[in-house]
Amino acid sequence: MTAAHPVARTVGLAKAFGAHQVLAGVTLELSEGRCTFVAGPSGTGKSVLVRHLVGLLKPDAGEVWYKDLRVDVLDEEALLGLRRRCVYVFQHPTLFDSMTVTENVALVVKYHKGVKAAAAEGLARAQLDRMGLSRLAESRPPELPAGEQKLVSLARALALEPETLILDEPTTGLDPYAAFEIDAHVRRLKELGVTLLVISHDLQSIRRLADEVVFLFDRKVRYEGGVDGFFHSADPVLDQFVHARVEGEI
């Protein structure tokens, strides 16, 4: 699939950890302003793939591009600029336990936007307010349930007003209500035109939100296309994944 306006793309991406080959020749393009879901069985390298997009991992072979930037050759200093525009939200909330929720959000704003601590705190509070999280402002992350921690993590990312947001399994491990709340925020971002890349095997979220789906299997892209094609594919691997069958290649 060739995106009309690719915001990010990988070309022949390969990555191994020791003898374990995780990705082998992955080529894909992400369209601007669209919501793309990356799905696949656990351990197929979904997180590894997207970590390359923000320069957290360097590929063994291949290229990674974000618009006109060749990401895989950038140094840490140059990557900071990219990471202001393309924000990655980890699977685990990765909030700093010794800080309050406001301080967690403000820290990122302060460093990324280069504003004073008081101004950063003001922006952080405004972001929490926009997401209906003001009641959590003075709490510390360990005091919060998983769903609220993920929401705070999302608030921290959105405080940077990114043009592209990468969400790594945002609804995994959450109760249906918390998952729905996260999805509602993602839907709002989609309406605002933010380019979204979501790693998930939550089929309900894919149905609700995805414009495009990329399915990874056996170190490669197995499917890349629309949501209907994903759910109604004749490919036995996709069929097994979508219908959660025990028998099959997965």
Partner 1 sequence: MALLITIGQMLSLSLWALVRMRLGGREMLRQVYETGNRSLLFVGITMAFIGMIGVYELASTMEAVLPEYSTLGAATLQGLTREMGPIMAGLLLATRVGTGMAAEIGSMQVSDQVDAMKLSSVDPVELLVLPRLFATSVASLGLAAVGTTIAFFSGMCVAWLGFSILPDTFMSLRFVVTADLVMGICKALVFGFTVPLVSCACGFLATGGSEGVGRATTRAVVLSSFIVIVEDALITYIGEVLS
Query: How does 162-193 read in b/e, with b if 16+ C-beta sit within 10 Å?
Result: bbbbbbbbbbbebeeebbebbbebbeebbeee
Supply the DSSP symbol for 14.
Answer: E
Our finding on whether 78 is near partner 1 (CB under 8 A) is no
Our finding on whether 250 is near partner 1 (CB under 8 A) is no
User: C-beta of 56: minimal distance to partner 1 in Å?
Assistant: 6
* Part of the chain binding partner 1 (CB under 8 A), chosen from 31-39, 64-72, 87-95, 189-197: 87-95
One character per residue 138-157, x = contact with partner 1 (rule: CB under 8 A): ------------------x-
The one-letter code for the residue type at 203 is L
Q: What is the CA radius of gyration of the chain?
A: 18
Q: Which two tokens stand for residue 61?
A: 């072979």
Our finding on whether 85 is near partner 1 (CB under 8 A) is no
Instruction: Give the nearer residue to partner 1 in terms of CB position, either 12 or 145.
Output: 145
Site residues for partner 1, window 44-63 (CB under 8 A)? 54, 56
Our finding on whether 108 is near partner 1 (CB under 8 A) is yes
Work out whether strand 20-31 and strand 35-39 pair parallel, antiparallel, or are unpaired: unpaired
User: C-beta of 160: minimal distance to partner 1 in Å?
Assistant: 8
Q: In which region does residue 129 sit, left (phi positive, over 0), alpha (psi from -120 to 50) or beta (all else)?
A: alpha
Which residues make up the interface to partner 1 (CB under 8 A)?
54, 56, 76, 80, 83-84, 87-88, 90-92, 94-96, 107-108, 111-112, 156
